[in-house]
Amino acid sequence: MPAKNTKTTKTFPHSMLKEIFEQPDVIKNIIDEYINKKRKEAVFNDPDKILKKLKKINRIIILGCGTSFHAGLAGKYMFSEYLGVEAEIELADEFIARKIKTDSKTLVITISQSGKTADIIKAVRLVRKQKSFILGITNGINSPLDKLSNFICFCQAGEEKALAATKTYTSQILLFALITLYFGKLQKKITPTLRVKIINEIIRLPKKINQILKQNVNLQIVADKYYKLDDLLVLGKNYQYVSALEAGLKLKETTYMHAESFALGEFLHGPVAISDKKHPCLIFAPTGKNYKEAKKMIKKLKKLKKKTIVITTQGNRQLIKIADKIIYTPKTLNLFNPILSIIPIQILAYHIAVLKGINPDKPRNLNKCVI
């Protein structure tokens, strides 16, 4: 079904901020389109039962570029955690360059905000020749990806005018969760109890996103403190490594800050050498899985007299004495942390860009790489 319009009626100075604030409505659109609330399950409009044929698939490849690649990485982690399937993930251009062979038993999941991303379309045409099944995730109705895919999932995000993706990114991650739930039921990999737990949390996401959006003024104050930074190191583990990658990209493309992202466990294997008072660390540390490791890293950096900005879960007071700045997000399931954790960074990136006199909707040198 075509992507729905979002319902935000407020006026905003820039499209980027407007689109950040539209995210609760985008999530609601996806819930309305892809969730049966009564049965508490993910549903897709598939009259020909194409998706059920995917039981024969023995290989999954995920392709994306930029922000869409990061959403795909979250999908890879979901497939591994909930389905026990190790999907491959590739940057589309590298996939083409390596001339990877696929076949009729390969599922290729391609992600493109516009549905026109040049590298994605080249890759899709390549795998189509090899008879692979293409599942597309896009916001672009009647786009080349829409037309070339065997099955399509729309982001339901409405038009995204700002060049830096915000609402389409969070919608892509949620679609991966729903695809995971669908296959989990099909393959009997996810119990009904767990499925209901995940669906219930999805239904709560719009309210939780609104809680973060209410921090806009406070985040503007944080932006005012840090907008003169030239360098920032960004750390996270597992799903939060996804957040670290996307945060680094969002800050680079909208603020021109050199924000470099690392997997948490890799940071001490060299990159810590460039961490000093001029290079603070932004660390994603929600409570739950991997929290102890993140806390240990924050303590380590404190001993080294390094500055830290931490994204953690509301109510967590354990980091007050060891972090220099804490930003809170509502508690959620681990697979949805990439949705909630990135929104404060989207807001910070916007305000830092404005403070620097940068148009956040049209950063320099940045264009959609479309065919």
Q: Is residue 344 part of a domain?
A: yes
Task: Note the pLDDT of residue 272.
Answer: 79
Task: Note the pLDDT of residue 2.
Answer: 47
Pull the structure tokens for residue 130: 């090899």
Q: Is residue 363 part of a domain?
A: no
Task: Note the pLDDT of residue 6.
Answer: 60
Question: pLDDT tens digits for 194-226?
Answer: 999 999 999 999 999 999 999 999 999 999 999
> Do 252 and 187 fall within a single domain?
no
CATH number of the domain within which 87 lies: 3.40.50.10490
Q: Please tell me what DSSP assigns to residue 113.
A: S
Beta bridge partners, 14, equal none
Task: Report the domain count for the chain.
Answer: 2
Q: Is residue 291 part of a domain?
A: yes
- The predicted model scores a pTM of 0.94
Q: Is residue 157 part of a domain?
A: yes
**pLDDT tops 70 at residue 363:** yes
Q: Examine the fold and report which residue of 208, 233, 268 is the final residue of a domain before the chain moves on.
A: 208
Question: pLDDT tens digits for 52-72?
Answer: 778 788 899 999 999 999 999
> Do 228 and 338 fall within a single domain?
yes
Task: Note the pLDDT of residue 371.
Answer: 52
365: confidence class by pLDDT, cuts 50, 70, 90: confident
Output 276 or 321, whichever has higher pLDDT. 321
Q: Is residue 305 part of a domain?
A: yes
CA distance 123 to 121: 5
> Do 260 and 337 fall within a single domain?
yes
**pLDDT tops 90 at residue 263:** yes
> Do 93 and 228 fall within a single domain?
no
Q: What is the mean pLDDT of residues 264-292?
A: 87
> Do 190 and 287 fall within a single domain?
no
Q: Is residue 278 part of a domain?
A: yes
Q: Is residue 307 part of a domain?
A: yes
Mean pLDDT of the chain: 93
> Do 90 and 131 fall within a single domain?
yes
> Do 201 and 220 fall within a single domain?
no
Task: Note the pLDDT of residue 324.
Answer: 94
Question: pLDDT tens digits for 232-252?
Answer: 999 999 999 999 999 999 999
Q: Is residue 229 part of a domain?
A: yes
Task: Note the pLDDT of residue 55.
Answer: 76
| Contact call for residues 367 and 163 (beta carbons, < 8 A) | yes
**pLDDT tops 70 at residue 7:** no
> Do 158 and 264 fall within a single domain?
no
Task: Note the pLDDT of residue 8.
Answer: 57
Q: Please tell me what DSSP assigns to residue 80.
A: I
Cα angle 46-23-362, degrees, rounded to a multiple of 5:
110
CA distance 23 to 211: 12
| Contact call for residues 102 and 108 (beta carbons, < 8 A) | yes
CA distance 371 to 369: 7
Question: pLDDT tens digits for 222-232?
Answer: 999 999 998 99
The helix, strand and coil proportions of the chain, stated in percent and rounded to the nearest 5, come to 50, 15, 35
**pLDDT tops 70 at residue 9:** no
> Do 182 and 263 fall within a single domain?
no
Q: What is the mean pLDDT of residues 117-130?
A: 95
Output 238 or 50, whichever has higher pLDDT. 238
Give the residue numbers spanning the domain of 65: 15-208
278: confidence class by pLDDT, cuts 50, 70, 90: confident
> Do 88 and 237 fall within a single domain?
no
Please give the full DSSP string across 184-253, using - where no structure is assigned.
HHHTT-S-HHHHHHHHHHHHHHHHHHHHHHTTHHHHHHHHHHHTT-SEEEEEE-THHHHHHHHHHHHHHH
> Do 42 and 168 fall within a single domain?
yes
Task: Note the pLDDT of residue 125.
Answer: 96
Q: Examine the fold and report which residue of 171, 187, 208 is the final residue of a domain before the chain moves on.
A: 208
> Do 190 and 95 fall within a single domain?
yes
Output 6 or 31, whichever has higher pLDDT. 31
Task: Note the pLDDT of residue 87.
Answer: 95
Question: pLDDT tens digits for 157-170?
Answer: 999 999 999 999 99
| Contact call for residues 230 and 328 (beta carbons, < 8 A) | no
